[in-house]
Structure 1
Amino acid sequence: MASHSCPVVRHGPNKLTFNSAQALQGEIGPSRRFGYAGAHHFEVDIYNNDKIIKSHVYSACQLEPGVDSVFSVRDMNDHRRKRKLIGQALAERSIRTFEPLMVEQVDVFLGILARSSQSSTAVDMTPCCKRLGVDIIGLLTFGRHLNTQTNPRYRFMVDNLSWANYQSNILFQFPLLASMGVPQILYILSYAEFSKYMKQLENLVMGRLAQDRDAHHDLYSVTGGAFSTESPKGIQASEFWSEALFFFPAGARLTISPRVAMCILIGSEIGGDTASTAVAGLFFYLSRNPKVYKKLAEEIRSNFSKGSEIQGPRLARCQYLRACIDETLRMSPPVSGTPWRELRSGEDGPLIVDGHVIPRGTQVGVSIYSLHRNENYFSDPDVYLPERWLVEDEAVRSKMNSAFAAFSSGSRGCAGKAMAYLEVSLVVAKTLWYFDFDKAPGRMGWLGGGSPRNVGRRGKVDEFQLYDTFSSTHEGPNLVFRPRGDHWKEIGVTE
């Protein structure tokens, strides 16, 4: 990863990783101009201009050759069209309409915590948060209750996501492996699980298309049927299929082939992973920072008189909660790696990024994890400090925001940003209303942090450890919950 002392490194053959806000989205102040062969060229940022498009490696995420989702599409015009449609379902107004269903699922989550609190049983927050995320996405995408939080029937779908993203990321980072037979080997090894997974996804899609468009408030109803659902190849080649699976944490075509079965769509920035990683991460940092925990609990408990009030505009006005979320996303960004880009075909050179002339054919990107730890933008970057986001100095805030990329940047930024913030806010605020919690005693309480036996960042016990699979995998934290007075009885769980 690029470091503070080295703002650009060679990641691999024809791959450069940058570590600056200028490379990300343009820093405050005028762009620098360079003269070449009698012409003047301005340097550009990587994610916020039309000269640079998604790298060719995103083609590994196509569901069918030529069938792209809003995630994998490289053509700018096609992306704008798809993004406009997706944006209807993920706009704040639409999400507010969907909020009661989200609250319903969060209450199921709270019921699980309430039952664990009766026996002081430690709860591993990662699987709980992932199941909550999948249940919410099932309703938003297909209008279908999957009930993975309370019923093990469909949990195999949740359990397969990390493995599927890991396999996809192998091809995403090393696309030449596709021609070396690796996808075929992985396909053979996991055929049974993928077949089971794809069959269930097929049932979800076909079941939704069999209903009236307005039967549920979900992707299909909000977009007004604007996506194509018919083609000579059937539903697996339709736009609705690809976009529905982009909403869901992962997916592939209905008829599995060795090539496509391993090219699982990495839609987790909208699916469960972004929100579930943020929730688990926030619980981790709260359990290890008692002053932050106390301050956030006071904000929630002083602004509401009962748990049912925790939603809508009043929740959105909890500034310290938002600061805690942003600081968690800075410390442990759900997509912590490098989203690759390259110069668009037909563009005249040279391409200049942060003062570096980039030859055609070179992939470029910004290491999000490294940028979030860059001392040029964040003082004491290894310290969990939500107060940094509440400083009154506008120049300081602008500098931090210029380097904050938890949801990517520019027109390709995550369309599910508003949904992720709402889900995290609801889960954490409601939990703090009904419960107090601590990390589990003994070695169980270590889960989620680094090990003191390791060196470097893997040895940081107070940093939530993420493992890059384009999205992130993680474990823990293990927490023990205690009922807060009789408030927990509002949830409807009997002793």
Structure 2
Amino acid sequence: MENSIRRAAVDAARERAWPAICLLAGVLVTTFLWKLYQARSFMRRLQRQGKPMPPHHWLLGHLPIAARVFRSLPPHAHLLLIADQIRRLHPELDTAFYLDVWPFGPPALMVVSPEIVSQFTQEGNLPKYKGVRKFLKPLTGKKDLVTMEGHEWKHWRNNFNPGFRASNIMDMVPTMIEEVRTYRDIIHQHAQTGDMFPLELPTLAMSMDIIGRVVMDEKFNSQREYNPLCEGLIDQLAWCDAGMHSNPLGYVNVARPFVQRYNAWRMNSYVDPLLKQRYETVHQRKGSKFIVDLIMGAYVKENTANTTKDGKAPKIDAEFSEFMRAQVKLFLQAGHDTTAASIVFTLHLLSKHPDTLRRLRSELDAVFGRDTTTTCDVLSENPHLLNQCDFLLAVVKETLRIYPPTATARFGLPGFSLTDPSNDNAPLPTEGCLVVGNHFGIHHNPRFWPRADEFVPERWLVAEGHELYPVKNGWRPFERGPRNCLGQELAMTEIRLVVAIMCREFEFREAYGESDRAKRLETERLRVNGERCYQIIRGGGHPSDNYPCRVHLVGKVDGKTA
């Protein structure tokens, strides 16, 4: 009897729930169809106006061509490669084109022309795309310099500028070299054992240790031991999400928020006590150019009325404490992530081009002396010698052209149109669009770069008028205009410093074939534009599989004199 009553109650509840479920399903389906109609009709209107785009399907939009591109790319290939791949499929789309991949992303205007991208980053300045904030929120929290706008951004950008001036960065070179020595010792151990190892992992740890010294004047020692802040930050990057995925399962990753909270706790538990301790003594470091001291100094200056009688800093409020932590984590992330990847890419390209490597070593011998083991000592005593290495700078700039670390993502505004100089200044409306300045697409575009897919450092040394001379505004690894990368001087100095030291003592050889065979992977199916070392998604573009390699000392192979 009791079971019968319970079953009847359950059946009655089901009967009452079904209308609500059907109503909810109807609302969801109707909303989806309405948004689908809006997205497709928006793009069809642009198509009727003659705006540039690949062939557009009335129902599927540009999903078929996107699917074709994704099928041609290896797993985890970075989304910044897409515009270049579409341009290769449709060579006529070599300046800018619209792309409709809803529901996987908003309508987009992909720009692969330096003449056009400068219009919304240099001549004008469209606001940052909201997906950038979504990506950074698990790292920084509520507010960070990258996604600030207007007066607030200008205020804090001006406060941070002194810490990234060229003179200040040069003063920090001896400190950087302390961490590079540890890195060199680790690579030397691999040279002695002859083992295959992922070069990017120790490089990331070294770069994290360097940025820790620059931002916080703190020794993380992550190259030698576990550091919760460094591990949490690197892991968090792998879980960050800008709202667009090449794999549909990325939209329903239920573990993401829990992992992000755990990583945030790991990072905050480490950094908060350090910041609190440093703030209590900030009055003892007036004039300091460490980033954390610049943040604290600006706060003290704005709150001088609350300074204590003995001259100590005013009590810090919770809101600013959270803001300070966010900026510190932002600079730690931005200062190590793409820099480490760029170091690996530079060493890789040099290993593939022995003539270029010989020329670079000859220049370094002339500047630092022929004893390759004393480079660290020489640079510690005279960091400005780095600026005498013109070919080294050319090598690094060409690497960043081949492997630009990121792209710029902005959101269009009503009445803000771009124009295409190559098409009678035809207008390109931005309203309702994600506007992407695709650095990879620009840097590999043969319309603007002769021998676009080739590694040609000499293009940075020729005179204006030469066929290889770089196009105006064409080189954009750090973006251009007022929102350019604040830390570009630091990144360029660190990359040149590490490459100058390492390429004199070590020979690096990629080991993708060996690694792929061990994993039973087909190497030939894992290439982008013929290159096995391609960029994958993890914040900025990182080398695939962390760059497996073997290393030996210059002049020796397998421990024997060559």
TM-score of the superposed pair, with normalisation by structure 2: 0.69
- Does 2:74 correspond to 1:5? no
Relative distance call for 1:278 and 1:58 in structure 2 (3 A) is: closer
Distance of 1:231 and 1:224 partners within structure 2: 9
Instruction: Tell me: CA distance 1:278–1:189, structure 2 relative to 1, closer, same or farther (3 Å).
Output: closer
1:188-203 aligned within 5 A: 188-189=258-259, 191-203=261-273
Return the match for 2:480 from 393, 409, 417: 409
Contact 1:69 1:243 in 2 (8 A): yes
- The equivalent residue for 1:33 is none
Instruction: Please list, as runs of the form range in 1=range in 2, the aligned pairs for 1:313-392 lying within 5 A after superposition.
Output: 313-335=384-406, 337-343=407-413, 349-354=415-420, 355-392=426-463
Q: Do the aligned partners of residues 221 and 316 (structure 1) sit closer, same or farther apart at CA in structure 2, a change above 3 Å counting?
A: same
Contact 1:451 1:460 in 2 (8 A): no
- Give the whole-Å Cα distance in 2 for the aligned partners of 1:286 and 1:412: 31
**C-alpha distance in structure 1 between counterparts of 2:315 and 2:131, whole Å:** 28
Q: Label 1:358 to 1:458 Cα distance change in 2 as closer, same or farther (>3 A).
A: same
Quote how far apart the aligned CAs of 1:65 are: 11
Q: Does the Cα contact within 8 Å between 1:140 and 1:218 map onto a contact in 2? A: yes
1:422 maps to which residue? 493
CA RMSD for the aligned pairs?
3.3
Counterparts in 2 of 1:275 and 1:441: CA distance versus 1, 3 Å: closer
Q: Structure 1 390/117 Cα, relative in aligned 2: closer, same or farther at 3 Å?
A: same
Q: Closer, same or farther in 2 for the Cα pair 1:407/1:359, shift >3 Å?
A: closer
SS of the residue 1:147 aligns to: coil
Which residue in 1 is equivalent to 2:199? 125
1:298 to 348, 354, 362: 362
Gaps of 5+ in 2: 1-81, 101-105, 301-313, 421-425, 557-562
Q: Match for 2:111: what amino acid?
A: F
**Matched residues, number:** 428
- How many angstroms does 1:403 deviate by? 1.3
1:69 matched residue in structure 2: 144
Task: Decide whether the 8 Å contact of 2:409 with 2:434 is kept in 1.
Answer: no
**CA 1:459/1:161 → structure 2, altered by over 3 Å: closer, same or farther?**
farther
| 1:23 match | 116
Q: Name the aligned partner's letter for residue 116 of structure 2.
A: A
Q: 1:82: which partner in 2?
A: 156
Contact 2:408–2:438 (CA under 8 A) maintained in structure 1: yes
Give the SS at the match of 2:258. helix
Q: 1:368 to 1:66 in 2, by over 3 A?
A: same
Q: Which aligned pairs between 1:31-430 and structure 2 lie closer than 5 A?
A: 45-50=119-124, 52-60=126-134, 61-62=136-137, 67-75=142-150, 77-151=151-225, 153-154=226-227, 156-171=228-243, 173=244, 185-189=255-259, 191-214=261-284, 218-222=290-294, 225-227=297-299, 232-238=317-323, 240-249=324-333, 268=334, 271-305=335-369, 306-307=374-375, 308-310=377-379, 312-335=383-406, 337-343=407-413, 349-354=415-420, 355-394=426-465, 399-430=470-501
Aligned partner of 1:408: which letter?
A: E
Contact kept, 8 Å, 2:236 with 2:260, in 1: the verdict is no
Q: Distance in 2 between matches of 1:483 and 1:290?
A: 12
**Counterparts of 1:84 and 1:431 in 2: how far apart (Å)?**
35
> Partner amino acid for 1:5?
E
Paired residues of 2:191 and 2:552 also in contact (CA < 8 A) = yes
Partner residue in 1 for 2:537? 468
Flag the structure with higher helix content: 2
Secondary structure in structure 1 of the residue aligned to 2:127: strand
For 1:356 and 1:63, locate their aligned partners in 2 and report how far apart those are by CA, in whole Å.
37
Residues 189, 437 of structure 1: CA spacing in aligned structure 2 closer, same or farther, 3 A cutoff? closer
The CA distance in 1 between the partners of 2:140 and 2:222, in whole Å, is 32
Unaligned runs of 5+ in 1: 26-44, 250-267, 486-495
SS at structure 2 position matched to 1:349: coil
Alignment partners' CA distance in 2, 1:446 and 1:466: 20
For 1:411, what is the secondary structure of its paired residue?
coil
Distance in 2 between the 1:159 and 1:325 partners? 28
CA contact (8 A) 1:214 1:221 kept: no
> Are residues 143 and 183 of structure 1, via their aligned partners in 2, closer, same or farther at CA, if it must alter by over 3 Å?
farther
Higher relative contact order (CA 8 A, sep 6+): 1
Q: Percent same amino acid among aligned pairs?
A: 18
Does the 8 Å contact 2:170/2:384 carry over to 1? Answer: no
**Equivalent residue letter for 2:541:** S
C-alpha deviation, 1:199, in angstroms: 1.4
Of the structure 1 ranges 116-125 and 363-372, higher mean CA displacement relative to structure 2 is found in: 116-125
Deviations 1:414-456 (A, max 9, x none): 0111101111111111113333444459614999xx9643276
Name the CA shift for 1:288/1:360 in 2 (closer, same or farther; >3 Å): same
Change (3 A) 1:446 1:460: farther
User: Residue 122 of structure 2 contacts residue 482 of structure 2 at CA under 8 Å; is this kept in 1?
Assistant: yes
